[in-house]
Structure 1
Amino acid sequence: MEAKPDTLTAVLWPAEPVRKRGPKPSLSRQQIIETAIEVADASGLSAVTMQLLADQLGRPKMSLYRYLPGRDELVALMADAALGAPPAAAGRGWRGRLRNWALQAWPVFLAHPWLHQVTVGPRVFGPNELGWMEVALGALDATDLTGAERLDAVALLTGHLRSMAAQRSAGPRSATDASASDDIEAQSAALMAQLLTDHADRFPLTAAAFGQAQRTGTTDQALEFGLDRILDGLGALIDRRRG
């Protein structure tokens, strides 16, 4: 069962805790979140269970519910913590600032391959995620775009980042896996090149495009290519409004 929005709001935006006398608790919500992120980074989001976390932390499973209502709330907290504090605004003009913002967000998605799964759809945003949005919207503040258009612009950029992250999410999670993945990628590329050579008469445009990309070393540039095309479109709209 999915957590209710008011429950998520309570955990993402907690009231100031009341200080209690006595010894400091041996476990904290932050420890649970950090452990859950480590598990998700290493083994995927599905590996994060309250029982596994309890085992990792050396606590009874039911003791975790003193700190968290359930797994859905935990995942929301994991996402906001994984995003981290937003970057400072940097770059020249609205385009430079937005581009820098997106390129600052990309390593975060790479570091947490599960993050693209949980930062999508209607949900309650945490303080870090709202902070990232505030920086992106700040880049567009001096433009003539409407509030809705600015939000949609940020949605386009984050959607592109999530799409690219989803393609990478099936990748390796360890150095050993990385070596094996590199081998598989090299083998696949070689086989594809041979297939396109053998069947160039059936797929002439595909064979030509792949061949040119390989010769010029311009493969695997979809992240920045897509980012720049989105910014080109926004630029055309902004210029039209000014005109």
Structure 2
Amino acid sequence: MTDSQRPGARPDARPELPGVLARMWGREPTPRRGPKPSLDLARITEAAITIADADGLAAVSMSSVASRLGVAPMSLYRYVDSKDELLLAMLDAASGDPPPVGGLSRRDYLFRWTKAHVETFLARPWLLSIARGGPPLGPRGLLWLEQLLTALDDTPLDGEEKILIATTLSGYALNEASLIIALERSPKQGSQPSSSAAYGELIAELVDRRTYPRLAEIARGHTFAAAEGAWIDEKDFRFGLDLLLDGIDALIARRS
């Protein structure tokens, strides 16, 4: 027997929100009496983001945030029950606003939406580890999702397919940003190649045509050297994303 089937259960009862979500969505009851609290979730979140921007996510703790605000650590627990809840609030606040849908074709908007995700992660690399923790729950995170769903309004896709498109594109953005940041932080000395061109030269030297005939042909054809400078550039990003967008277009065509 489910909860809604139990005697006396209200079938339309709303689920109880965790405290931090209630505050993020403005659902927390406002006290009628007493002095106005000196803290709120927005101030706490802003202080935590400032610390993460300066010193990385590892530097964020209830103690460090309290110290920055000039309060006792225990005073924060009125607003967030744990560091995990604080991270949830930080992710939403630091995500910014999604690009507007108006004026772009569906495909152009999906491209812009995905690229904006990457830009957000590159601006604040510490967001990556929080974003991997689960789907969005805050008002900003869900606004990103709402905007993408709006761009898919004129398609015959059902709700599940639209959500899966959002998951696929956000996953691509997360992976792309992670790879860019990892390559930027990797050592540029010793046995590690410093660029795509250097990687191609190393591969050409290492592989033999008998065991790796296709890879040897690509490496000796200077394919890797064509990508000068950064390991991953706009061309690489667009190529991968175009593959996904082509698949989305094909799915829409099949449903039409």
TM-score (ref. length: structure 1): 0.79
Note if contact 1:113-1:168 (Cα within 8 Å) is conserved in structure 2. Answer: no
Residue equivalent to 2:9? none
Distance 2:67 2:172 in 1: 37
Alignment RMSD (CA, Å): 3.1
> Is 2:219 aligned against 1:205?
no
What code does the residue aligned with 2:99 have? P
Report the 3-state secondary structure (helix = DSSP H, G, I; strand = E; otherwise coil) of the residue aligned with 2:101. coil
Offset of residue 198 of structure 1: 2.0
197-206 or 141-150: which moved more?
197-206
Match in the other structure for 1:95: 107
CA distance in 1, matches of 2:136, 2:250: 32
Structure with bigger gyration radius: 2
Question: Is 1:151–2:160 an aligned residue pair?
Answer: no
SS where residue 40 of structure 1 aligns? Answer: helix
Instruction: Give deviations 1:60-87, integer Å, cap 9, x for gaps.
Output: 2222223322212111100100112222
Cross-structure match for 1:214:
225
What is the 5 A alignment of 1:67-106? 67-106=79-118
Aligned partners of 1:184 and 1:20: how far apart in 2?
A: 64
Looking at structure 1, the residues matched to 206 and 108 of structure 2 have their Cα atoms a distance apart, in angstroms, of: 43
Q: How far is the alpha carbon of 1:127 from its aligned partner?
A: 0.6
Which residue is equivalent to 2:199?
192
2:246 is matched with 232
Give 1:175's aligned residue: none
Q: What is the distance in 1 between the residues matched to 2:66 and 2:163? A: 39
Which structure exhibits the higher relative contact order, with contacts defined as CA atoms closer than 8 Å and separated by 6 or more residues? 1
Paired residues of 1:11 and 1:77 also in contact (CA < 8 A): no
2:6 corresponding residue in structure 1: none
Secondary structure at the aligned position of 1:240 is classed as helix
Q: How many residues align?
A: 231
Pairing 1:1-243 to 2, within 5 Å after superposition: 6-15=18-27, 17-18=30-31, 22=35, 25=38, 27-120=39-132, 122=134, 125-170=137-182, 183-184=188-189, 187-189=193-195, 192-201=199-208, 203-210=212-219, 211-215=222-226, 217=228, 220-221=232-233, 222-242=236-256
C-alpha contact 2:20 2:85 (8 A) present in aligned 1 = yes
Give distance in 1, aligned partners of 2:226 and 2:169. Answer: 30
> Which residue identity lines up with residue 127 of structure 1 in the other structure?
P
Secondary structure of 1:88's match?
coil
Amino acid of the residue matched to residue 96 of structure 2? G
State the distance in 2 between where 1:142 and 1:133 align.
Answer: 16
Post-superposition Cα deviations, 1:66-122, rounded to whole Å, max 9, x if no partner, equal 332221211110010011222211453211121121122221111121223223455
Q: Take 1:122 and 1:187, find their aligned partners in 2: how far apart are those partners?
A: 34
Q: Is the 8 A contact 1:80 1:127 kept in 2?
A: yes
Deviation sequence 1:188-227 (CA, Å, 0-9, x none) = 3375344223224254533543521323649524422221
Give the number of the structure whose residues are more often helix, by fraction.
1
Cα distance change, pair 63–197 in 1 and its aligned pair in 2 (3 A)? same
Q: Secondary structure of the equivalent of 1:118?
A: helix
TM-superposition CA deviations, 1:107-146 (whole Å, max 9, x none): 1111121223223455561110111001001111100111
The amino acid of 2:202's aligned partner reads: L
TM-score by length of structure 2 reads 0.76
**Is the contact made by 1:41 and 1:111 (CA closer than 8 Å) also made in structure 2?**
no
Moved more, 54-63 or 93-102: 54-63
CA distance in 2, matches of 1:216, 1:48: 38
